[in-house]
Amino acid sequence: MTSATPSVELAIETRGLTKRFGHQTAVDGIDLAVPRGAVFGFLGPNGSGKTTSIRMLLGLATATSGDIAVLGQEMPGRLREVLPRVGALVEGPAFYPFLSGAANLRRLDTADPGASSATRAARVNRALERVGLTHAASKKVRAYSLGMKQRLGIANALLVPRELLVLDEPTNGLDPQGTREVRSLVRSLAAEGTTVFVSSHLLAEVEQMCTHAAVMSAGSLVAQGTLDDLRRVGQAHVRVRTPDVADARRVLAGLGLVADRVDANRTAADRSAADRTATDRFGAPGDPNADGLLSAPLADGAVAAETIVAALVADGVRVRGFSVVGASLEERFVALTGEGFDVVQ
């Protein structure tokens, strides 16, 4: 497997990984490459095949075709050697509701034949402490909130030091506080050298904690690389706020920029709410003094921003706001996966 990637050691590598259920292809020949030490975001809308891929990586489901290597070893063939080095949270936490949090962790720890029973109690306590559940350790999991179960699931993944963590939707059900804690936990684990593979449908989450990302759409891998690489492919936009929309558009067109009015398609309800304050400042809608917002894609290095402003002003356009917006991951992902992508607001 090193032949194709001489420079970087990969924690996860798949080739042509495919999973079919009957006629339906859930995962369609994906080639994942997760470098060691990366925090790798695995993005995609719900139902795009993320969890199925993770199940195959962990040997829970067999691939219809394709090869998997995890931590340099073939899966599922070397499952016994690989899995003790991998901590996982797969499709939400699952526990015995009639056992306490600590008892659940002990139970799952005994399932690993390599885990030492002598250090079990200490390791369970440390894992609980790490996710802030020490106070609830003896409480039955039945009484846990979803967020607490999620934390317990992460604690389970941390019972022994791992080389790779696979976290499927780790912040599901967590409050903003908990989300932040998970994020910092992931960062601290990454700082210790653990490779973290996080699946998520939340862009903001991935944007904030990942170094690399891959995007799934309808079972296929549509993009993969470092976050910067992915962003670079996207396009920057200039945004102009002005009451002289028509003039501004003409000027922009003169510079080779095709502008769209981005506030024009707002609904009436939106408009009435948003413009009530705007009306005070800029006059009623339809008023020649009311602001419009124009947006035009800006090709790399095509026109300098200051040139655009100068041209607008020279033409008497009343520029009330001007900005160059860098490509956001969100735009990139919507472009890759289509609208209807389940993004964080």
Partner 1 sequence: MVSELTVLFRRRRTWAMLLALAAVPVLIAVAVRLATSPVAPGRGPPFLDRVTQNGLFVAITSMVVCIPLFLPLTIGVVAGDTIAGEAGLGTLRYLLVAPAGRVRLLIVKFAGAAVFCLAATLTVAVSGAAIGAALFPIGPVALLSGDTIGVGESVLRSLLIAGYVTISLLGLSAIGLFISTLTEVPVGAMAATIVVSVVAQVLDALPQLDWLHPWLFSHYWLDFADLLRQPLEWTSFGNNALLQGGYLLVFGALAYGRFVTKDILS
**Chain residues in the site for partner 1 (CB under 8 A):** 55, 58-62, 79-80, 83-84, 86, 88, 90-99, 103, 106-113, 115, 156
Q: Where are the beta strands (DSSP E) in the chain?
A: 10-21, 24-30, 33-35, 39-43, 65-70, 73-75, 86-89, 164-168, 195-200, 212-217, 220-226, 236-242, 260-261, 292-298, 321-325
d(CA 214, CA 225): 6
Other residues' Cβ atoms within 10 Å of the Cβ of residue 7: 6
Shortest distance, position 53 Cβ to partner 1, whole Å: 13
Shortest distance, position 130 Cβ to partner 1, whole Å: 18
Element of type H or E holding 208: helix 203-209
Q: Which is nearer to partner 1, 79 or 335 (CB)?
A: 79
Q: Which is nearer to partner 1, 133 or 298 (CB)?
A: 133
Fill in the amino acid letter for 129: E
Smallest CA-to-CA distance from 329 within 7, 91, 41 is with 41
The conformation of residue 85, written as its DSSP 8-state character, comes to G
Q: Which is nearer to partner 1, 96 or 260 (CB)?
A: 96
Other residues' Cβ atoms within 10 Å of the Cβ of residue 263: 17
Shortest distance, position 22 Cβ to partner 1, whole Å: 12
Shortest distance, position 105 Cβ to partner 1, whole Å: 10
Shortest distance, position 81 Cβ to partner 1, whole Å: 10
Up-side HSE of residue 138: CA atoms within 13 Å toward CB?
0
Q: Which is nearer to partner 1, 166 or 248 (CB)?
A: 166
Q: Which is nearer to partner 1, 82 or 238 (CB)?
A: 82
| String of DSSP letters for 241-261 | EES-HHHHHHHHHHTT---EE
d(CA 46, CA 32): 19
d(CA 84, CA 72): 14
Task: Say whether 31 sits in a helix, a strand or coil.
Answer: coil
Q: Which is nearer to partner 1, 47 or 84 (CB)?
A: 84
Q: Which is nearer to partner 1, 115 or 343 (CB)?
A: 115
CB 282 within 8 A of CB 243: yes
Q: Which is nearer to partner 1, 33 or 90 (CB)?
A: 90
